[in-house]
Amino acid sequence: MTTYRVLLCDLRSDQLLDVLPVQDVSLDDYIGKTGALRGTVPLANRALADRARRALVPGRTGVWVERGRDIWWGGILWTLTPASDQRGFLRAQIQAGGWESYLYRRMLYDTQIAKQVDQLDIARGLVDYVQNTPGGDIGITYDTHTSGVLRDRTYLRYDLPTVGDLLDDLAAVENGFEWRIASYRDTDGRRVKRLRLGYPKITTGAADIVLDHPGPVLSYSWPTDATQKANAWQSRGATINQNQAEDSFPLMSGLLVDDADVAAGWPRLDGSSDYTTVELQPTLDAHARADAAAARAPVEIPEVEVLLGDNVSPALLGATVRLRIRDLWHPTTLDARYRVVGMSITPPERGRPETARLYLEVP
């Protein structure tokens, strides 16, 4: 059975505090969404309870998950719940969010202005703002590549936005990018928190991994959700009024209608989005075009469950897999390539194998 360890460290210095036994562990990681870890620390005696009380400090303790000698996950302990059952057995339930969760708990208190700056440099500048404040450096590193896409951005301190939300908005605009913070151990054995910026997308690996069902794919589900589909779209921006004697109205994008979709037989389906801090028409229009494109088709996020092996690890995020399925729903074998955008890992327990659920992006 593969050994998992949970390392508890001081969030700012990354100094190791303790290594505690954790049961019922589940962990997940995504592109475009903050991952999470859940588990239970059994408190079998006073010594273990004392160690847990010192090391498990929500908001201050960093959590690393090791599989063998490899780092498979990293994040911040946010919730601790000591609990006792009717028989007096004590345990501590823990929940942690990926390193990205820290950026959603940091606010912009100073106006930041960028004019014709590469969008990836703007993103790195926001992370620098976080880490250059006293007590704000948690050791996030990054690369220096650029996208070639220049942006104008003014972030006002009066809006009190979180840095995580600003990164999401910057990435979600037309011709934007993807971002996440990866956890791994470098060649010198040091634990690393690395901001990954991918333009237009985060991609890893060169060779496709082949997954067959029946075969290594234990199970799959293929939801198709049209509740958010839209073929007509308009976005709303900030309310701008220089004349107090006149009525105030928000900035509006043009109405985008996919006439070809309607002509193909789809009913008219409307959608909208709000960007209350956007005051420039070109920026709002770019957001509207990106949102309209994303809403055009019903959402498909296939999920496949596989046994963990040498070719399946968190490093697979952003990689391409070749999925082949033949069953009653696919009488003609499905044979297509998909990008891995999320992963949920279930470590082995007694009577339960080590598995991973992969979330796939349909091209």
Tell me the domain boundaries of the chain.
Answer: 4-97, 103-198, 209-223+301-361, 232-295
DSSP 89: -
Question: How far, CA to CA in Å, does 214 sit from each of 86, 259, 305, 338, 357?
Answer: 44, 41, 12, 18, 16
- pLDDT of 245: 64
Does the structure show a pLDDT above 90 at 315?
no
Nearest to 216 by CA among 109, 342, 358, 99: 358
Percent of the residues in the chain that have a pLDDT greater than 90, as a whole number: 85
Does the structure show a pLDDT above 90 at 175?
yes
111, burial (CB in 10 Å: exposed 0-12, middle 13-18, buried 19+): exposed
Average pLDDT over residues 147-164: 96
Task: Give domain 209-223+301-361's CATH number out of 3.10.620, 3.30.310, 3.90.550, 2.40.450.
Answer: 2.40.450
Percent of the residues in the chain that have a pLDDT greater than 70, as a whole number: 98
The encoded tokens of residue 163 equal 């840095």
Does the structure show a pLDDT above 90 at 88?
no
**Protein fold of 103-198:** Phage tail protein beta-alpha-beta fold (3.55.50)
Q: Report the top-level CATH class of 4-97.
A: mainly beta
Q: Cα(336)–Cα(319) distance, rounded to whole angstroms?
A: 14
